[in-house]
Structure 1
């Protein structure tokens, strides 16, 4: 096999692969055997038809086409490994030449254009020391937790005044196009300021009292007339405000097992302080990745980036046409960061010679299935059937590489080493480190998890 590589961009390469006849012949033979199982030739048992007769019966081109379909993935993978190319997307493959008959000595030749991981050199992490910002519990943290608990015990009460941001209203909506009603709903409960319905609704409701109505223009978000402009009439049936309990001993007794508010606050602080080690692990992770990327040129594949930006916007209910420049910039920054982290962690996993066992992958997928309350075996089968097991393997490798790399580093806070072994585990128990990985990667956006979650959503919807 002869392989040549032309780098079209730092993140795109075109491979030209030429296969010798003796390398391609076994695929032709296998194709003939498979076809022989499917055809009937008088005088021969099914599956025992000679190769020459198979060529005559179905045509050599049909045999060669079947052989090429089986051969290309194998030779493409070999070419990537030989040239140390790490693909980040599916290739664009074109067959340039192939034999036209069994006696034709023309070699199989194909090209594969693929977006790839750029070349870069990771820093040596042996003996590395990284200073981490200290994770502390502030009075504001305690106040926020206490306020969240207070809101859980809030109640809605009717008010005789104009509606304002934060109020809950019961409304009727009627969307009209050219004077004809195209969609109407009654008795909808909506929090003013939530911004999760129609553009302009919050502004229209602000200042309206129960029994009053108004109209505004907006683009419809769904249904048969999705994307069309409509005149929306809105009527307010009732206005309610959230009434929160007073922060006193009586609230503490209602919301907890404690008798006084001071005791409740002390317990909240205790729990918050117990969470600081996990926060410290997250800060250490971020600082570690930042150190790995420091000074590196990390261009990202243009096609992959464009696809992920589109997906990012869609996850927020936006298209590239209606997203603002600021929203597009935010999505692009998130995607670039995600891709750069992914590339660096993949390189780290290779450098650390991380090995991924089947149990590692199944534990990873089982943890996602658990989040969705699904049967792990059913979920894993769906992942395999959807062809996403490879993404899961890659994500597990990145996670294991991250943990292995962090174990080689000394993390300090105010110059003093900190012990993160509770979250980083050891080489022997990587497969059991689901909780540790969850803590270290609490807000990590990973393509594999997203793909797996998409399967979970689909299965849940089917059920």
Structure 2
């Protein structure tokens, strides 16, 4: 086989391939066996007719078509490997010549990862927020813990903000009952905002067994977007009583014997979370700095595919109803042109990020261990609420296992950049990022990959 590579642009090549017929003998053998199973020839059992008999029966053209169809993908990959072509995306293949008994020629145009010159990572410098923890934040965590151990008791008074009520609901649109909006015995925390607009204002001030009707716009169901008259009836009012924040509560709610020890632990946990948040901010800012100073020619076909994927996902939430999606954009104060521009910008940034990190991973000879790949699979499975085995099955079916591998590798590449960059907080102190990425010899760069992989969510479709 002979192949040559023409560079059409920094991001696209044309591969010219010529395959002599003597390399296609295995393909001809498989083609004859396949066709022999599909046709019936008198005097021969299925699959047993000789090649010359099959040719005399159906002609040479169908056999050549089958051979070429099977051979081209393999020969294309051989040409990519031989030419050290860093192909991305699907190729556009055109058969240019079939000379029976001599050769098959075809061309393949495909996008490639461009050559990228990245800056010295140590030259990147970013500033992140200080880690600041207030007493009020610690108190809020303690109150959340007290809520978990609180009890509900009946209140003989009108409902107030924060109360728990049992409700009956019914709704009508133009006098017609809305079945899906009718329920009884619904438990609801006043002010939580978990139901329709206006429900909290309607409930506040009602005693048990009292009702009120209000008008609101429905957001789902057959009457979505229509105004409905909703009647709410309060069946009971309960108030949450919280335990006192003392040593007895600390012993009940934690492994600590005193409230002081519990508060110290809450403070330590919150500080650790804030340091993680600071690390994530550093990661994002370093990535933005890297993108800003690195020139990357973008493969148009890859960007277009990313744009199409993002638009598909956006409209999918509206059952691919373009009119409903346009109404949603209008309600958000955005035009379709603005949406398209935003999607394009996000797609270009995503593709640029992937290309840069892939180049860094290759230059740094970064590999992904089985343990790192397993860690990512478990993380994603938990995120989607499925078992790791089910996640792997879906990834295989959607052809995304390679993308998951690439995501982890890109995460390691980004972690290597962040470690070498200069990261200081607003007070001028150097920031220790080991809590986010682990020490350099621990290979725990998993957290860095979370925002670098738009393909990942396709596994759950």
The TM-score, its normalising length taken from structure 2, stands at 0.72
Q: What is the correspondence of 1:51-450 to structure 2 with a 5 Å cutoff? A: 51-74=51-74, 82=83, 87=88, 91=90, 93=92, 95=94, 99=98, 102=100, 107-109=105-107, 120-125=116-121, 133-159=129-155, 163=159, 166-183=162-179, 184-198=182-196, 201=199, 205=203, 209-210=207-208, 211-222=210-221, 225=222, 227=224, 229=226, 231-237=228-234, 238-275=236-273, 278-296=276-294, 301-308=303-310, 310-311=312-313, 320-321=325-326, 322-323=328-329, 324-325=331-332, 332=343, 340-357=352-369, 360-369=372-381, 376-377=388-389, 379-409=391-421, 411=423, 414=428, 416=430, 418=432, 420=434, 423-426=437-440, 430=443, 433=444, 437-438=446-447, 440=448, 444=451, 446-447=453-454, 449-450=456-457
1:448 Cα deviation from its structure 2 partner:
5.3
Question: Hey, what's the Cα distance between the residues in 1 that align with 2:233 and 2:79?
Answer: 67
Larger of the two Rg values belongs to structure: 2
Question: Hey, what's the Cα distance between the residues in 1 that align with 2:190 and 2:382?
Answer: 35
**Alpha-carbon distance change, 446 to 197 in structure 1, aligned in 2, over 3 angstroms:** farther
Question: Gaps spanning 5+ residues in structure 1: where?
Answer: 456-463
User: Please, which moves more after superposition, 246-255 or 45-54?
Assistant: 45-54
1:387 Cα deviation from its structure 2 partner:
2.0
Do the aligned residues in 2 keep the contact of 1:200 with 1:218 (CA within 8 Å)? no
SS at match of 1:353: coil
**Alpha-carbon distance change, 422 to 119 in structure 1, aligned in 2, over 3 angstroms:** closer
Deviations 1:31-51 (A, max 9, x none): 525515635656778767555
Aligned residues, how many?
Answer: 436
**Alpha-carbon distance change, 154 to 56 in structure 1, aligned in 2, over 3 angstroms:** farther
**Alpha-carbon distance change, 367 to 415 in structure 1, aligned in 2, over 3 angstroms:** closer
Do the aligned residues in 2 keep the contact of 1:28 with 1:64 (CA within 8 Å)? no
Question: Hey, what's the Cα distance between the residues in 2 that align with 1:289 and 1:251?
Answer: 45
1:214 Cα deviation from its structure 2 partner:
0.9
SS at match of 2:185: strand
1:265 Cα deviation from its structure 2 partner:
1.6
**Alpha-carbon distance change, 157 to 342 in structure 1, aligned in 2, over 3 angstroms:** farther
Question: Hey, what's the Cα distance between the residues in 1 that align with 2:162 and 2:314?
Answer: 28
1:389 Cα deviation from its structure 2 partner:
1.0
Question: Hey, what's the Cα distance between the residues in 2 that align with 1:52 and 1:365?
Answer: 52
The TM-score, its normalising length taken from structure 1, stands at 0.72
Deviations 1:28-82 (A, max 9, x none): 5265255156356567787675555444445545444444544454466567775
Question: Gaps spanning 5+ residues in structure 2: where?
Answer: none
1:309 Cα deviation from its structure 2 partner:
5.2
User: Please, which moves more after superposition, 312-321 or 15-24?
Assistant: 312-321
